[in-house]
Structure 1
Amino acid sequence: MKVLVIGSGGREHALVWKIAQSPLVTALIAAPGSAAIGTLATCVNIPVSDLDGLVDLARERTVDLVVIGPEIPLCDGLADKLRAIGIAVFGPSKAASMLETSKAFAKDFYARHNVPTARYGVFDDAVRAKAFLDEFSPPYVLKADGLAAGKGVVIPETREAAEAEIDAFLSGKFGDASRTLVIEEFMRGEEVSIFALCDGKTVLYCGAAQDHKRVGEGDTGPNTGGMGAYSPAPIATLALIDTVMKTIIEPTAAGLAAEGTPFQGVLFAGIMVTADGPKTVEFNIRFGDPECQVLMARIANDILPYLKAAATGHLDQMLPIDWSPEPAITVVMAAKGYPGDYSKGSVIEGVDAANALDGVHVFEAGTSRDAQGRRIAAGGRVLNVTATGESLHYAADRAYTAIDAINWPDGFCRRDIAWRALKTH
């Protein structure tokens, strides 16, 4: 099978790494890929924004399956263009991608299909938005309607701070993404990510993980794209997973199909486990990053048949995914200053030594190579140090041992990834 993976980050590195293990692969291509991905696949330097170029590549290489990693090309309609020329795609249509593209659309969709979620309001007027704060007590949850690279959520602790943020959002704090604002009731509980493959009709459970969005230890500081993740998450019991599948994920997939936008790809449900049961925080329409890294490390099956079945409508013929009993953890090493301003170009040494450790794989999210072949930091989140072990404690020890083998003075990481689970085990 000829497979084309779209993207260049740590998530795509993990997907390529897992797909490359399949005996079904006859050719593996990535666009644009990266130097790290290039050790596993043939990279073609076409940016994810060049939809026509990507379609031409898929046609010219006569690929059997395209796996789209990041959300932007999905939201721009790449899957539609590929399906229009008869190429199987793991990834939803532009219309189905509205579930992530627009927080306002998503909240109204949940209401239409009785998917449990927090009370909310949608606003483009500051006066009405500030008046709506009367509905809740602090803290408040403010979300940019559009895509904001995982950073468009602010949780003010006071009414005064919330009103200031409303003005900032509607004045373009996140560009056009925050010209419309969603205000939600703050949900108390523990958050977990639940994944399911979907082929437009059938859904199949695809793992649970818990990530850490805040930049600082103890889950403090500003939100980021994700500073680490681990799987399995103790809070994701079999009973909880069953409830989430039946009350949230299956109704969402059925609702999308009923509205004429059947979903093919992976549904990524952000769930808050509250005293009143699980409620939807949000849906994403692609694998999480860095959750994908721990899921790929734990899936014991050949992943490729599952991706192809989701793309072609045959998930009903697939057995449940087989999971390794070994937990996995990934720790993000980021450039100092992230998620604010950070510099690029610093040299990273020791990654090969880290990769040589038992149970460790470093997925490269934001690196390039200089003329001497050295790794160079080229992004905010730069390395995803991923490890497995017979227990979560072992996996965490391996991950941090690997981090200590990496010499990158201009990088930092959190030293408490998986702290909730480690505290109770």
Structure 2
Amino acid sequence: MKILLIGSGGREHALAWAISGSALTESLVIAPGSDAMATLGRCAGVAADDLDGLLALAEAERPDLVVVGPEAPLVAGLVDRLEAAGIPAFGPSAAAAQLEGSKAFAREACARFGIHQPGFTVCTDIGSARAAIAASGGACVIKADGLAAGKGVVVADTAAEAEDAAAEMLDGRFGDAGATLLVEERITGPEASLFALVDGADVLFMGSAQDHKRAYDGDKGPNTGGMGAVSPSPRLTDALQQQVMDEIVRPLARGMADEGTPYRGIL
């Protein structure tokens, strides 16, 4: 197979390493790639956010499959454009990618599908944010709605801290990603991430990880895109894994499919 891989980060480096080592792979082109990835495939100088350039590259290369790594081009509709051109792509449509691109969309979808989750309020101005923070008692989580490179979440201990975070987001700290924000119920406990391969309503467990997001020793700093991760997650028992698949992943996949926006890719 001829594979075109989109991206240049650590995630895409891992994908390039795996794809290049597969017996099914005849050739691998990476856009834009990196110096490190150049040892695994041929790097093309097209940025991951240049949808016109990526489509032109795909039409020139005619790969058997395009694998899209970053969230931003998925949310922007790259898979839709590739499939419209007759080029198979691995990843969700723009409509389905809202699960990652909009935290409000994801929370509201889970609410529609009856999936248990923390309480939340969607806010677009500081007045409604302050009211939601006051209703929470102060200790809450403030989240920028859109993509913010993993940095758009503030776990606040006090109402003042939460209000400051909300004001910064609404004032443009994360650009359009913070024009809408969520004030969420704060829950405690160890974090675990579960990954599933989804093809419409069909799901397959793919693994787990425990992400460590906060900067500085002792988790004293702000959230980041990730300071490191352990995989598989030591917290995710077989019983908990099954519960997550049955109570979150499958209902979410079925709900998206039933609404006419089936999710295809890694969830």
State the match for 1:47 in structure 2.
47
Please state if 1:253 is matched with 2:239: no
Task: Quote the Cα distance in structure 2 between the aligned partners of 1:108 and 1:123.
Answer: 13
What is the 5 A alignment of 1:8-407? 8-267=8-267
Shift of 1:64: 0.4
Structure (1/2) with the larger helix percentage: 2
Code of the residue aligned with 2:36 in structure 1: it is A
Q: Shift in Å at residue 85 of structure 1?
A: 1.7
* Residue identity opposite 1:77 in structure 2: G
User: What displacement does 1:39 show?
Assistant: 0.3
Moved more, 251-260 or 125-134: 125-134
Match of 1:338 in 2: none
Q: Secondary structure at the match of 1:243?
A: helix
**Cα drift, residue 135 of structure 1:** 2.5
Unaligned runs of 5+ in 1: 268-425
Note the C-alpha offset of 1:131.
1.5
The SS at the match of 2:156 is coil
1:277-323, CA deviations, whole angstroms, 9 ceiling, x for partnerless residues? xxxxxxxxxxxxxxxxxxxxxxxxxxxxxxxxxxxxxxxxxxxxxxx
Q: Give, in whole Å, the separation in 1 of the partners of 2:134 and 2:159.
A: 9
User: What SS does the corresponding residue of 1:225 show, helix, strand or coil?
Assistant: strand
C-alpha separation in 2, matches of 1:33 and 1:163: 40
Report the CA distance between 1:161 and its aligned residue. 2.0
- Alpha-carbon distance between aligned partners in 2 of 1:165 and 1:19, rounded to the nearest angstrom: 41
The 2-side partners of 1:260 and 1:15 are apart by: 29
Higher relative CO (Cα under 8 Å, sequence separation at least 6) belongs to 1
Superposed CA offset, 1:260-283 (max 9, x none)? 11111100xxxxxxxxxxxxxxxx
SS at match of 1:191: coil
- Letter matched to residue 12 of structure 2: E
- The alpha-carbon deviation at position 231 of structure 1 amounts to 1.1
TM-score (normalizing by structure 2)? 0.97
**Helix, strand or coil at the partner of 1:224:** strand
- Displacement of 1:23: 0.6
Q: Distance in 2 between matches of 1:27 and 1:170?
A: 45
Cα-to-partner distance string for 1:194-233 (whole Å, 9 max, x where unaligned): 0000111311100011011011122221111101111122
Moved over 3 A (4+): none
Name the % identity.
Answer: 53
Query: Which AA in structure 1 matches 2:73?
Result: P
> Aligned to 2:104, what secondary structure does the other structure show?
helix
Deviation at 1:38, TM superposition (A): 0.6
Q: In 1, distance between residues paired with 2:219 and 2:193? A: 16
| 1:115 counterpart SS class | coil
Tell me how far apart the structure 1 counterparts of residues 179 and 70 of structure 2 sit (CA, whole Å): 23
Q: How far 1:145 sits from its partner (Å)?
A: 0.9
3-state DSSP class of the match of 1:233? coil
* Distance (Å, rounded) in 1 between the aligned partners of 2:130 and 2:29: 50
Cα distance in 2 for residues equivalent to 1:98 and 1:33: 25
Counterpart residue identity of residue 2, structure 1: K
Q: Is the 2:201–2:250 contact (alpha carbons within 8 Å) kept by the matching residues of 1? A: no
Aligned-residue CA RMSD (Å): 1.1
Distance in 2, matches of 1:173 and 1:237, equals 38
The amino acid of 1:24's aligned partner reads: L
SS of the residue 1:221 aligns to: coil
CA contact (8 A) 2:210 2:234 kept: no
Q: What 5-or-longer segments of structure 2 have no aligned partner?
A: none
Query: Per-residue deviation at 1:37?
Result: 0.5
Q: Distance in 1 between matches of 2:164 and 2:34?
A: 41
- Partner of 2:194, secondary structure, is strand
The residue that corresponds to 1:351 in the other structure is none
How many Å apart are 1:176 and its aligned residue? 1.6
Q: With structure 1 as the length reference, what TM-score do the two structures score?
A: 0.61
**Aligned residues between the structures:** 267
Matches of 2:53 and 2:208, distance apart in 1: 35
Partner Cα separation in structure 2 for residue 207 and residue 131 of structure 1 = 39
Contact 2:172 2:179 in 1 (8 A): yes
